[in-house]
Amino acid sequence: MVSNAVLSQVEALREQLNHHNYLYHTLDQPEIADTEYDAIFQQLVRLEAEYPELVVAHSPSQRVGSVPLEGFQQVAHQLPMLSLDNAFSDADVIDFDQRVSALLDTSSSIQYACEPKIDGVAISLLYEQGQLVRAATRGDGLTGEDVTQNVRTIESVPLILRGTGFPEKLEVRGEVYISKSVFTDLNIQQVKKGDNPFANSRNAAAGSLRQLDSRLTANRRLTMYCYSVGLVEGGALPGGHFEILEQLQQWGFRINPLSKVVSGSRQCIAYYEQLGQKRADLNYDIDGIVFKVNGLDLQQQLGMRTRTPRWAVARKFPAEQGLTRLNAVEFQVGRTGAITPVARLEPVQVGGVTISNATLHNFDEIERLDVLIGDTVVIERAGDVIPKIVSVILDRRPENALPILQPETCPACGSDLEKSGSEVALRCVGGLICSAQRKESVRHFASRLAMDIDGLGEKLVGQLIEAGLVENPADLYDLEFDRLIDLERMAPLSANNLLQALNKSKLTSLQRFIYALGIQEVGEATATGLAHHFGDLQRLRIADEETLQAVPDIGPIVAEKVRHFFEQSKNNDVIDRLLESGVRWPDIAGSDQEKPLTGQTWVLTGTLVVSTRAELKRKLQSIGARVSGSVSSKTDCLVAGENAGSKLAKAQALNIKIIDEDELNRILTENKP
């Protein structure tokens, strides 16, 4: 039983933390040092650990992230998240202002709210009774993805609103981004880990929001400015857009301090020019300015087109361009085996930065541009985006210009390259031996759902590779105690634990082993299907594409990738070494045809209490079921946990069998393989 004194102390700590978060993130006026804040935070964490029944979703302690999700649920926006028309010149802004005046039938100057257009990711935040209950991406404007778990980690997003007077239901919209300084730090860390740096801050922000593990999102230090509201129920807001933003700030949201209200098109143009001069000095990327008619009554009169409002326009900043010569093309191999052509350029100044390299993306892009080595090309750099070639000056093409030839083998390891289906990228198929993919292939091999080598995380994998102890997964089983303790921060106990974990991992299952090989497009479900269909690794290694396509849910693209992987002699050499080192698994008795749920499609939805969704999925697959993420007429059974939503409704409409988690566990117990 929690005493009133403890409850009061927890509530007081939360109130202090929320207050200091507001001062720091919203007003940029901190009152205490970081060390003092951390002490208060740790005090709250300790109390919540001691009294877990006091933990609530809106507690500041919940910003650290939680266990990984299986996937993202779709969210239908109750009010569409619209796009904006673009203006590219002063004349376009004047035309916009004249259209607005004509539609409103007025000769008076229109008041416009002006805001920097953050180059980030649009987000919708839904609050009920002042508490954050859902966060969703913009998606296509009508439907987005539920990223609530990730957004809770963003410290500038209030989990509970300040003050009073907010509507019972309030949707706040904003732009999530990564500041320039944080982006620089992230890329330094990426390089230190041996990973490719992020191309630009917007892509990094978007990728961070879509992490299934919210703990990774928390480490990316995202932030947000709000720019509007959507759904409002059970309350009222001020009558002007800018005034609404000021009210949102009082409730705990960050608004851009550079936002202001101006009168008429000339002042809009002046604001655009002022921000253009400040742009390089800002700690975030902006790609333009948004002008919105400030009065909500006027916005309502102006109305909407199909996908854009008549009362707003985005004035874009021009991309920065320059002319230079393409001297050569080199080919880089990414950590997943993708081959990227990189243009080596005659150095040129673009927007105050010397550019000597640019991406050519892929060979479809090279063909589209009709670019040759020796050409004079137009280089574009927008914000911090990696420079790219946007066009060729054909009348400057020299007679000795040379075509850009595709490599026949991987530049890093000499393995074959493949390009399958609709994929535009060439990929190296030497996943186990390619030096460019080495860290990713070893990390994947050791991961929990693969060989499950306890203690062999990403950092240690990097150490082993940098020390020259591991070049491919088979080298892991040749590691010796004396070499391990030479590694930095590797104590004898840690070395022994790693060797024991490696030895333990040798007894595995065929499906885990297949998954651990890291074959392109072969996830857990596909690996399980291959294991149960073939029942033997050697039969899989010699299977042709037609035979592979006989496996349920394997089409020509996956079959081609599997076949190409096993055609590489160096991949087979690594597999042979793994088997020689003692990696083994029990024989798989029978085939899918003997399993209780063979041929059936099952779907899991809602909150499952006794087991995780991943555990239940693996158990269902072990007795022959195919586990899908969506309900259709081909679904045989839906397992509905607590708070099941649209999938349950669809299953009911289609008269699909529906069971609860208790019934599922009974079925799994009775049919345990």
Query: 320-396 — its CATH code?
Result: 2.40.50.140
Residue position matching structure tokens 């101006």: 262
> Distance of alpha carbon 568 from its chain centroid, rounded?
32
Return the top range by mean pLDDT from 81-85, 312-316, 380-384.
Answer: 312-316
Mean of pLDDT values over 424-442? 82
pLDDT in tens, 470-529: 999 999 999 999 999 888 888 899 899 999 999 999 999 999 999 999 888 888 888 988
The fourth-level CATH superfamily of domain 407-592 is 5' to 3' exonuclease, C-terminal subdomain (1.10.150.20)
pLDDT number for residue 591: 46
Which neighbouring-strand residues pair with 341?
331
CATH 1.10.150.20 residue ranges for the chain? 407-592
Determine the 3-state secondary structure of 637 from DSSP. Answer: strand
- pLDDT band per the 50, 70, 90 thresholds, residue 203: confident
pLDDT at 384 over 60: no
CATH 3.40.50.10190 residue ranges for the chain? 595-670
Alpha-carbon distances of 273 from 160, 446, 573, rounded to whole Å: 37, 54, 63
pLDDT number for residue 254: 93
Structure tokens at 194: 């041996």
Is residue 583 within 8 A of residue 524, CB to CB? The reply is no
pLDDT number for residue 199: 65
- pLDDT band per the 50, 70, 90 thresholds, residue 24: low
Please report, rounded to a whole number, the percentage of residues in the chain having pLDDT higher than 70. Answer: 93
Is residue 597 within 8 A of residue 620, CB to CB? The reply is yes
CATH 1.10.287.610 residue ranges for the chain? 4-64
C-alpha–C-alpha distance, residues 61 and 326, integer Å: 52
- pLDDT band per the 50, 70, 90 thresholds, residue 11: confident
Let me know if 117 is a catalytic residue.
yes
Residue among 383, 394, 385, 386 at smallest CA distance from 326: 394
C-alpha–C-alpha distance, residues 292 and 110, integer Å: 10
Residue among 79, 426, 104, 110 at smallest CA distance from 241: 110
pLDDT at 182 over 50: yes
Output b/e per residue, 16-25; b: 16+ Cβ within 10 A. bbbebbbebb
Which neighbouring-strand residues pair with 175?
122, 225
**Which residues have a Cβ under 8 Å from the Cβ of 66 and sit 6 or more positions away?**
149, 214, 215
- pLDDT band per the 50, 70, 90 thresholds, residue 575: very high
C-alpha–C-alpha distance, residues 397 and 494, integer Å: 61
Is residue 218 within 8 A of residue 182, CB to CB? The reply is no
Is residue 431 within 8 A of residue 409, CB to CB? The reply is no
Of the candidate CATH numbers 3.30.470.30, 1.10.630.10, 3.40.190.10, 3.90.10.10, the domain formed by 85-316 belongs to 3.30.470.30
- Does 537 or 4 have the greater pLDDT score? 537
C-alpha–C-alpha distance, residues 484 and 460, integer Å: 11
Query: 595-670 — its CATH code?
Result: 3.40.50.10190
Is residue 341 within 8 A of residue 331, CB to CB? The reply is yes
- Does 278 or 12 have the greater pLDDT score? 278
66: phi then psi, degrees, rounded to nearest 5: -135, -175
Q: Please state whether 615 falls in left (phi above 0), alpha (psi between -120 and 50) or beta.
A: alpha
Is residue 369 within 8 A of residue 389, CB to CB? The reply is yes
Radius of gyration of the chain (CA): 29
Structure tokens at 672: 């345990």
pLDDT in tens, 544-559: 888 898 887 788 888 8
Is residue 624 within 8 A of residue 592, CB to CB? The reply is yes
The fourth-level CATH superfamily of domain 4-64 is Helix hairpin bin (1.10.287.610)
Residue-by-residue DSSP string for 90-151: HHHHHHHHHHHHHHHT--SPPEEEEEEEESSEEEEEEEETTEEEEEEE-TTSSEEEB-HHHH
Q: Please report the sign of the dihedral spanned by the C-alpha atoms of residue 247, residue 248, residue 254, residue 259.
A: negative
**Which residues have a Cβ under 8 Å from the Cβ of 150 and sit 6 or more positions away?**
65, 135, 208, 209, 210, 211, 214, 217
C-alpha–C-alpha distance, residues 346 and 335, integer Å: 28
Determine the 3-state secondary structure of 298 from DSSP. Answer: helix
Residue position matching structure tokens 């592979």: 548
Which neighbouring-strand residues pair with 345?
326
pLDDT number for residue 67: 52
pLDDT at 84 over 60: yes
Residue-by-residue DSSP string for 580-623: HTT-B-----S-GGGSTTTT-EEEEESB-SSS-HHHHHHHHHHT
pLDDT number for residue 529: 86
pLDDT number for residue 161: 93
pLDDT number for residue 590: 47
- pLDDT band per the 50, 70, 90 thresholds, residue 606: confident
- pLDDT band per the 50, 70, 90 thresholds, residue 10: confident
C-alpha–C-alpha distance, residues 271 and 293, integer Å: 15
Residue among 275, 239, 316, 80 at smallest CA distance from 247: 239
pLDDT at 420 over 80: no
Please report, rounded to a whole number, the percentage of residues in the chain having pLDDT higher than 90. Answer: 36
C-alpha–C-alpha distance, residues 510 and 46, integer Å: 43
CATH 2.40.50.140 residue ranges for the chain? 320-396
Annotated active-site residue in 117, 561, 647, 650: 117
Is residue 377 within 8 A of residue 323, CB to CB? The reply is yes
199-203, 334-338, 379-383, 572-576: which range is least confident on average? 379-383
Residue among 648, 656, 671, 531 at smallest CA distance from 597: 671
**Which residues have a Cβ under 8 Å from the Cβ of 480 and sit 6 or more positions away?**
none
Average pLDDT taken over every residue of the chain:
86
What number of other Cβ atoms are within 10 A of residue 553's Cβ? 11
Is residue 254 within 8 A of residue 156, CB to CB? The reply is yes
